Amino acid sequence: MSGTAETFRCMACGHEYQEGVESGEDKERSCPKCRSNSIRHMKAKAPPAKAVPPGAREPQTPRSDNDG
Ligand SMILES: [Zn+2]
């Protein structure tokens, strides 16, 4: 494994982008758009809750392990 893609946001222009980061690294970053170094690391969180009532789950679909 070589890191994971994290989301960053530029505080200067508001540009959001993803970049692969190593575990535990904290190197300086710069906005690929405006070159500003005011980059904030966006925490990976679950997407906004949809209008799906609890209990309305999707039916289980058969997994195809042979797909890859
Ligand atoms: Zn920027």
**What are 13-24's pLDDT values in tens digits?**
999 999 888 877
Q: Averaged over 24-53, what is the pLDDT?
A: 83
Q: Tell me, in angstroms, the distance from the centre of ligand 1 to residue 6's CA.
A: 16
- Helix H, strand E, coil C: the string for 30-56 is CCCCCCCCCEEEECCCCCCCCCCCCCC
Question: pTM of the prediction?
Answer: 0.56
Q: Tell me, in angstroms, the distance from the centre of ligand 1 to residue 41's CA.
A: 13
Q: Tell me, in angstroms, the distance from the centre of ligand 1 to residue 64's CA.
A: 42
Q: Tell me, in angstroms, the distance from the centre of ligand 1 to residue 17's CA.
A: 10
Task: Reply yes or no on whether the pLDDT at 53 is more than 60.
Answer: yes
Residue 61: the pLDDT is 74
Q: Tell me, in angstroms, the distance from the centre of ligand 1 to residue 42's CA.
A: 14
Which phi and psi (to 5°) does residue 43 adopt? -75, 135
Phi-psi region of 8 (alpha: psi -120 to 50; beta: other; left: phi over 0): beta
